[in-house]
Amino acid sequence: MEFNWTYQEQTPLLVRTFLKHQGISKKLLAKIKFQGGKILVNRAEQNVLFSLKAHDIVTVVIPDEAPHETLLADDVPIDIVFEDEHLLVINKPAGIASIPAQYHPRGTMANRVKAYYVAQGYANQVVHVVTRLDRDTSGLMLFAKHGFAHSKLDQSLQQKQFVKKYQALVSGEVASLRDHGTISLPIGRDLSSLLKRQVIETGQKAETEYWLEKRNQRCALVDIQLHTGRTHQIRVHFSAIDCPLLGDDLYGGAMDQGIDRQALHCYSLSFPHPFDAKRLSFELPLAEDMADIAKKR
């Protein structure tokens, strides 16, 4: 894969420094050097110590990524929301994990995406997961189609340039929910469980903003934006204010409302494209099982 930039400044600059500014890490530079890539200036091959002058054209050829043989391919269709040569956005169904685990090597979205890459004959077949969802959370997931894109998207995540929004159905003390509110409670591990998290004074800062969409006596539909990214954050926070998610038996959610998974759906994802900085925004309708409950009065 080839990338091109024009150096616009008048002051000379080392190629190494210029490429760092473009988001190319030391690890990726090593891969370019030792695995068949190239660095060109005005179409002539150069090393990273070459000094650039104004209007030089810098080209980087990044070698293709061979697939990880340990990631098995599951030939199951995926619901593609968006795709270009750098990105893949999919709609993940509930009940499917994002990535394999030691004793569960297949049956995940990563396995399905691997099979899709193989079927398409893509040169880069390493699966790069950028945004994960819990097994029983449905909605938008983002994959990078090569390592350079993954690196730049991770930088955007660290700079808080991503906006992820969720919809949830919550139960319990729904009458106490305001039209708009923020839950700011620290989250840490629950030492009684390998999986569970809890609100605890010694935990990490966590902030969840919500807007009330509708409610009845049994449940409420809320629109949610995370301002931090703690494990199980939405589930823990709403449980802590006595409004656990429907179907979330781990955190005390009602299990008699016609849904047996946490009623949580990532419906909106927005972020800058890693190579042209154009802001991309994607939205999905509410998942069908949640929509059926939300329609009831």
Encode pLDDT of 247-285 as tens digits.
999 999 999 999 999 999 999 999 999 999 899 999 999
pLDDT digits (tens, 9 = 90+) for 212-232: 999 988 899 999 999 999 999
Token pair for 196: 């569970």
- Out of 3.40.50.920, 3.30.2350.10, 3.40.50.170, 3.20.20.70, the CATH code matching 64-159 is 3.30.2350.10
The residue assigned the tokens 């990535």 is 99
Exactly one of 56, 74, 134, 136 is catalytic; which is it?
Answer: 134
Q: How many CB atoms lie within 10 A of CB 192?
A: 7
pTM for this model (two decimals): 0.92
- Annotated domain spans of the chain: 2-61, 64-159, 164-266
pLDDT of res. 277: 87
Lowest mean pLDDT among 9-13, 57-61, 100-104: 100-104
Contacts 24+ apart (CB under 8 A), 45-52: 46/15, 47/15, 48/14, 48/15, 48/16, 48/19, 49/14, 49/15, 49/16, 50/14, 50/15, 51/12, 51/13, 51/14, 51/15, 52/7, 52/12, 52/13, 52/14, 52/15, 52/18
Strand-strand pairing, 279-283 and 207-215: unpaired
Tell me, yes or no, if the two domains 64-159 and 164-266 fold the same way: yes
Tell me the average pLDDT of the chain: 95
Report the pLDDT value the prediction gives residue 196, as an integer from 0 to 100. Answer: 95
Query: How much is the pLDDT for 69?
Result: 78
**What is the structure's pLDDT at 176?**
94
Looking at the predicted structure, is the pLDDT value of residue 89 above 70?
Answer: yes
pLDDT tens digits, 27-56: 899 999 899 999 999 999 999 999 999 999
* Higher local confidence (pLDDT), 295 or 274: 274
Average pLDDT over residues 130-137: 96
Section 96-121 average pLDDT: 94
Whether the pLDDT of residue 297 is over 70: the answer is no
Domain 164-266, CATH number (from 3.30.300.30, 3.30.2350.10, 3.30.465.10, 3.50.50.60)? 3.30.2350.10
Mind listing the pLDDT tens digit for each residue in 166-215?
999 999 999 999 999 999 999 999 988 989 999 999 999 999 999 999 99
Q: Does the annotation mark 134 as catalytic? A: yes
